[in-house]
Amino acid sequence: MSFLDGLLRLRRGPWEMLATILIALGVVMLMQPFLLWAYTWSFLVTLIGTVMFIIVSHFPE
């Protein structure tokens, strides 16, 4: 609940967590050997996570 609350209030912690999850998910999608579509979309997911990380690191604590 506090995680969603933090997202709505534009707090750094939860947003950084979300960006970290996206980056990690993108890296996993890039390197997994099972689904070609996951590999195809991996770059976009990592890029969104990375850009989000740069932006939300300027949010208040």
Partner 1 sequence: MANPIDIAAQATPPTIARKVRGLSDRAIAWIFVAPTIFLLLAINIFPLIWTIRLSFTNYAANKPNAEVKWVGLRNYERILTDEDIWSHMTTTAHFLIWTIFFQVLIGFTLAWLINRKFKGNDLLTTLIVLPMMLSPAVVGNFWTFLYQPQIGVVNYVVEFFTGIPAASFSMLGPGGLAPWSIVIVDTWMWTPFVMLICLAGLRSIPDYIYEAAEVDRASKWRQFWTITVPMVLPFLMLAVLFRGIENFKMFDMVNLLTGGGPGSETLLTSIDLKREAFEKWRTGYSSAYAIILFVTVFGLASIYVKALNKVKER
* Residues near partner 1, by CB under 8 A: 16, 19-20, 23-24, 26-27, 30-33, 36, 39-43, 46-47, 49-50, 53-54
What is the distance between the alpha carbons of residues 44 and 18, in angstroms, rounded to a whole number? 15
Minimum distance from residue 40 beta carbon to partner 1 (Å): 5
The secondary structure of residue 34, as a DSSP letter, is S
* 10 vs 32, beta carbon nearer partner 1: 32
Minimum distance from residue 41 beta carbon to partner 1 (Å): 8
Cβ atoms of residues 17 and 5 within 8 Å = no
What is the distance between the alpha carbons of residues 44 and 27, in angstroms, rounded to a whole number? 11
